[in-house]
Protein backbone atom coordinates (compact mmCIF):
# COMPACT_ATOMS: atom_id res chain seq x y z
CA UNK A 1 0.00 0.00 0.00
CA UNK A 2 1.33 3.34 -0.99
CA UNK A 3 0.79 6.23 1.44
CA UNK A 4 1.17 9.62 -0.01
CA UNK A 5 2.73 12.16 2.28
CA UNK A 6 1.51 15.68 2.12
CA UNK A 7 4.19 18.16 1.30
CA UNK A 8 5.00 21.12 3.49
CA UNK A 9 3.48 23.39 0.86
CA UNK A 10 0.25 21.37 0.93
CA UNK A 11 0.05 21.55 4.73
CA UNK A 12 0.71 25.26 4.64
CA UNK A 13 -2.03 25.70 2.03
CA UNK A 14 -4.50 23.69 4.17
CA UNK A 15 -3.67 25.79 7.22
CA UNK A 16 -4.20 29.00 5.27
CA UNK A 17 -7.60 27.73 4.11
CA UNK A 18 -8.58 26.91 7.70
CA UNK A 19 -7.52 30.39 8.84
CA UNK A 20 -9.45 31.93 5.95
CA UNK A 21 -12.62 29.97 6.74
CA UNK A 22 -12.30 30.88 10.41
CA UNK A 23 -11.93 34.56 9.48
CA UNK A 24 -15.06 34.38 7.30
CA UNK A 25 -17.05 32.77 10.13
CA UNK A 26 -15.86 35.41 12.61
CA UNK A 27 -16.68 38.18 10.13
CA UNK A 28 -20.20 36.80 9.62
CA UNK A 29 -20.69 36.68 13.38
CA UNK A 30 -19.58 40.31 13.63
CA UNK A 31 -21.95 41.32 10.82
CA UNK A 32 -24.85 39.55 12.57
CA UNK A 33 -23.98 41.36 15.80
CA UNK A 34 -23.88 44.73 14.01
CA UNK A 35 -27.22 44.07 12.29
CA UNK A 36 -28.83 43.19 15.63
CA UNK A 37 -27.44 46.36 17.22
CA UNK A 38 -28.67 48.43 14.28
CA UNK A 39 -32.16 46.87 14.54
CA UNK A 40 -32.28 47.62 18.27
CA UNK A 41 -31.24 51.23 17.59
CA UNK A 42 -33.87 51.62 14.88
CA UNK A 43 -36.55 50.22 17.21
CA UNK A 44 -35.50 52.68 19.93
CA UNK A 45 -35.62 55.56 17.45
CA UNK A 46 -39.10 54.48 16.32
CA UNK A 47 -40.27 54.43 19.97
CA UNK A 48 -38.82 57.89 20.48
CA UNK A 49 -40.53 59.23 17.35
CA UNK A 50 -43.85 57.68 18.38
CA UNK A 51 -43.55 59.11 21.89
CA UNK A 52 -42.88 62.56 20.45
CA UNK A 53 -45.87 62.27 18.15
CA UNK A 54 -48.15 61.19 21.00
CA UNK A 55 -46.94 64.01 23.24
CA UNK A 56 -47.50 66.51 20.43
CA UNK A 57 -51.03 65.18 19.88
CA UNK A 58 -51.89 65.52 23.57
CA UNK A 59 -50.27 68.92 23.85
CA UNK A 60 -52.04 70.27 20.76
CA UNK A 61 -55.38 70.92 22.46
CA UNK A 62 -53.68 72.45 25.48
CA UNK A 63 -51.73 74.85 23.28
CA UNK A 64 -54.73 75.67 21.10
CA UNK A 65 -57.36 76.69 23.60
CA UNK A 66 -59.66 77.98 20.90
CA UNK A 67 -59.76 74.51 19.34
CA UNK A 68 -60.47 72.98 22.74
CA UNK A 69 -63.35 75.44 23.13
CA UNK A 70 -64.73 74.48 19.71
CA UNK A 71 -64.53 70.78 20.63
CA UNK A 72 -66.43 71.39 23.87
CA UNK A 73 -69.13 73.31 22.02
CA UNK A 74 -69.37 70.56 19.40
CA UNK A 75 -69.61 67.87 22.10
CA UNK A 76 -72.39 69.85 23.81
CA UNK A 77 -74.36 69.92 20.57
CA UNK A 78 -73.90 73.66 20.12
CA UNK A 79 -73.72 75.15 16.66
CA UNK A 80 -70.23 75.41 15.18
CA UNK A 81 -69.22 76.85 11.83
CA UNK A 82 -67.96 74.81 8.88
CA UNK A 83 -64.49 76.24 9.47
CA UNK A 84 -64.58 75.16 13.13
CA UNK A 85 -65.77 71.67 12.13
CA UNK A 86 -62.94 71.49 9.62
CA UNK A 87 -60.43 72.35 12.36
CA UNK A 88 -61.76 69.58 14.58
CA UNK A 89 -61.82 67.11 11.72
CA UNK A 90 -58.27 67.98 10.65
CA UNK A 91 -56.98 67.49 14.17
CA UNK A 92 -58.80 64.18 14.56
CA UNK A 93 -57.54 62.98 11.17
CA UNK A 94 -53.97 63.75 12.25
CA UNK A 95 -54.56 61.52 15.28
CA UNK A 96 -55.77 58.71 13.01
CA UNK A 97 -52.67 59.03 10.84
CA UNK A 98 -50.56 58.64 14.01
CA UNK A 99 -52.64 55.62 15.04
CA UNK A 100 -52.26 54.02 11.61
CA UNK A 101 -48.48 54.45 11.84
CA UNK A 102 -48.54 52.96 15.34
CA UNK A 103 -50.63 50.02 14.10
CA UNK A 104 -48.20 49.35 11.24
CA UNK A 105 -45.18 49.35 13.53
CA UNK A 106 -46.48 47.43 16.56
CA UNK A 107 -48.20 44.14 17.15
CA UNK A 108 -51.93 44.26 17.81
CA UNK A 109 -51.49 42.95 21.36
CA UNK A 110 -48.59 45.22 22.35
CA UNK A 111 -48.93 47.47 25.42
CA UNK A 112 -48.88 50.52 23.13
CA UNK A 113 -51.78 49.21 21.05
CA UNK A 114 -53.69 48.40 24.24
CA UNK A 115 -53.16 52.03 25.26
CA UNK A 116 -54.33 53.21 21.83
CA UNK A 117 -57.43 51.02 22.15
CA UNK A 118 -58.39 52.45 25.54
CA UNK A 119 -57.70 56.10 24.66
CA UNK A 120 -59.65 55.85 21.41
CA UNK A 121 -62.56 54.10 23.10
CA UNK A 122 -62.69 57.08 25.45
CA UNK A 123 -62.47 59.52 22.52
CA UNK A 124 -65.25 57.74 20.62
CA UNK A 125 -67.47 57.78 23.71
CA UNK A 126 -66.78 61.39 24.71
CA UNK A 127 -65.85 63.39 21.59
CA UNK A 128 -68.30 63.40 18.71
CA UNK A 129 -65.66 64.37 16.16
CA UNK A 130 -63.79 61.08 16.48
CA UNK A 131 -66.68 58.89 15.34
CA UNK A 132 -67.76 61.41 12.70
CA UNK A 133 -64.30 61.62 11.14
CA UNK A 134 -63.72 57.87 11.38
CA UNK A 135 -66.93 57.03 9.56
CA UNK A 136 -66.28 59.68 6.89
CA UNK A 137 -62.59 58.91 6.29
CA UNK A 138 -61.85 55.33 7.31
CA UNK A 139 -61.70 54.18 3.70
CA UNK A 140 -58.55 56.24 3.27
CA UNK A 141 -56.68 53.80 5.55
CA UNK A 142 -55.38 50.29 4.99
CA UNK A 143 -58.02 47.56 5.42
CA UNK A 144 -56.24 45.83 8.32
CA UNK A 145 -56.14 49.07 10.32
CA UNK A 146 -59.82 49.74 9.53
CA UNK A 147 -60.69 46.22 10.68
CA UNK A 148 -58.75 46.69 13.92
CA UNK A 149 -60.34 50.09 14.62
CA UNK A 150 -63.84 48.83 13.83
CA UNK A 151 -63.45 45.70 15.99
CA UNK A 152 -61.57 47.26 18.91
CA UNK A 153 -62.66 50.88 19.06
CA UNK A 154 -65.61 51.96 16.94
CA UNK A 155 -67.99 49.21 18.03
CA UNK A 156 -66.79 48.95 21.64
CA UNK A 157 -69.56 49.68 24.10
CA UNK A 158 -72.33 49.41 21.49
Q: Where are the domains positioned within the chain?
A: 7-47, 64-154
pLDDT in tens, the chain (158 residues): 555 566 777 788 888 888 889 988 899 888 888 888 888 887 778 777 777 777 777 787 778 888 889 989 998 999 999 999 999 999 999 889 988 988 888 888 888 888 888 988 998 888 889 999 999 999 999 999 999 999 988 886 55
Written as one string, the DSSP assignment of 44-66 is HHHHHHHHHHHHHHHHHHHH-HH
Model-level pTM greater than 0.95? no
Amino acid sequence: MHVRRQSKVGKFKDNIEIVGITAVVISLGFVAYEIRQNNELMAAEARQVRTGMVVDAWRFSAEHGDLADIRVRDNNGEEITDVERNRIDSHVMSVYVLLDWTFQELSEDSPEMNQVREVQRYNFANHSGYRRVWEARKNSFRPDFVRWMDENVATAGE
